[in-house]
Amino acid sequence: MHFTSLLAASLLAIGTSASPVASPLEAFKRAGPAAGQVITKCSTTGTLALAFDDGPYQYTQKLVDTLNAAGAKGTFFVTGTLYGCIYNQKTALQNAYNSGHQIASHTWTHPSNFGSLSTADLTSQMQKLETALVNIIGKKPTYMRPPYLATGSNVLSTMKTLGYRVITDDIDSGDWNNNTPQQSEALFTKAGAGGNGHIPLMHETYATTVNTLVPWLINWAKTNNLRIVTVAECLGDAGGAYASGTGSSQTTC
């Protein structure tokens, strides 16, 4: 078949298809990591993906400002109601999103039994937060970190169905377990800056993490020539951190 005939046939096929056909480049950009598989660390060398759980909270804006001042990007795994209603921190979340930080899911209520919930309950946890995030930032996330890093029972199969990339960690800062910033710093120093980048477990709900550990990590990354990027970026996922979703008129929890 001549090139012109092939081009005409291709255009005709696109024009008569039920939905738009993405370009090969666009499809590549959206591919990203597979949904429903546990990811513990970056796939890119020279990166550090600072990832914070349990917000939004009163320190969210301070954390955003600190990262912005350093030219660093963070990933915020947020909940709907764990530390107050997500809508109470609407402006801080919008500022984080507009600054290029990644907003991801940590479920609606952060249930302690997340790893044993039914498929229906897991779906509800994810979709309630999706709706709120569409209301707040206009998109729903495609990345999540399960409460307590629980990935058993129905979790992975449900996240695969919902299209979520499942993130855990390869360094636990221990801030949730009363580690001092200095104890957390020692964990990073021990892990080192070589190889593929780290995805640490940290929480934006602790003042010591926001005020002491994060500034230290910014300096540590600079000293070791690491770029502080979002989880999606450290996984080579260009443009795939979000998807279109359906919002609502809800403004409270």
Catalytic residue set:
53, 203
β-bridge partners, 53: 77, 203
148: left (phi over 0), alpha (psi -120 to 50) or beta: left
Residue 103 phi, psi dihedral angles, 5° rounding: -105, 125
Paired sense of beta strands 242-243 and 140-141, if any: antiparallel
Residue 12's CB: how many other CB atoms inside 10 A? 10
CA nearest to 197, candidates 169, 176, 165, 174? 169
* Phi, psi dihedrals of residue 167, rounded to the nearest 5°: -110, 135
Provide the strand spans (E) within 36-175. Answer: 38-39, 47-48, 50-53, 74-78, 102-105, 140-141, 143-144, 165-167, 171-172
> How far is the CA of 117 from the CAs of 10, 38, 124, 151, 204, in angstroms?
46, 18, 10, 11, 26
Residue 75's nearest CA partner among 43, 52, 94 is: 52
